[in-house]
Structure 1
Amino acid sequence: MTKEQEEQGFRVTDRRSFREDGEPTAAAAEESEKAPRQAAEPPRAEPAPGPEGVPGRLIDFSSYILSYYAQGMVLMGEVPNPHTNKKEEDMNAARHMIDILTMLEEKTRGNLAAEEVKLLESVLYELRMKFMAKTNRIQL
């Protein structure tokens, strides 16, 4: 660094778009006039890529819930395991699926669309009733 540069010190440029009183600065007003405002589009979910020749599937909250439902039904022996084609029961794991869905219901309360709430409630009801019947707590 030369002696001249050291004597100059440093320069501060205020690039805030609003003054202390809340009014926009002249530079911010010019910039907003030049660039027209565009409403931001919410991101659209795109299907996850599938194996070659197989179309991808859309992953959303409903499909996420339905995957836990399907796992619960397999674990309770209501549906054959897709890998073995046999009905197998693992009630502890099935209870775990129900607990996960219950936790999701609690954590997402007030943040879901009406159809998502209805789906989650009906899935939980059906899994709970099947679980109770399988563990001889009720008869269906």
Structure 2
Amino acid sequence: VFSGLMPAEKLEHIQELKGVNGLVAFVGDGMNDAPSLAGADIGIAMGGVGSDAALQAADVVLMKGDPAAVPEAIRLSMATERIIVQNIVMILGIKVLVMVLGILGLAGMWAAVMADVGVCLLAVGNSMRIFRIKTRQGKK
């Protein structure tokens, strides 16, 4: 953690850390942080108080002005990625199964349509699980 730096010094530290550690994330409130947000591999701006230049330079904008929201956003994004992978595997698996049954003559067009609609409903239902993840304040 480095604090009390001028914008050029922030960018200099980011370049040094990229050479040493590889992947660098920068979290800034937006006040004079646009160069650093753009220079980091992952720029995270606090959207509520940041300048427009910083918000456009950042890769991720958190609407809360609280840096403690970063771990929460990471946790939610990881859960979202898991659900997306689950949906893709489920959708492709069911569609391949119905296609094989169709090739074997065991499933007609009605089965394909029902499987398509059913898989859509299952994917939406599975995606709704993201709302059950509790946030830092304990809200849903």
Query: For the superposition of Structure 1 and Structure 2, which TM-score range results when normalised by the shorter chain?
Result: under 0.3
Which is richer in helix?
A: 2
Scaled by the length of structure 2, the TM-score of the pair is: 0.24
Normalised by the length of structure 1, the TM-score is 0.24
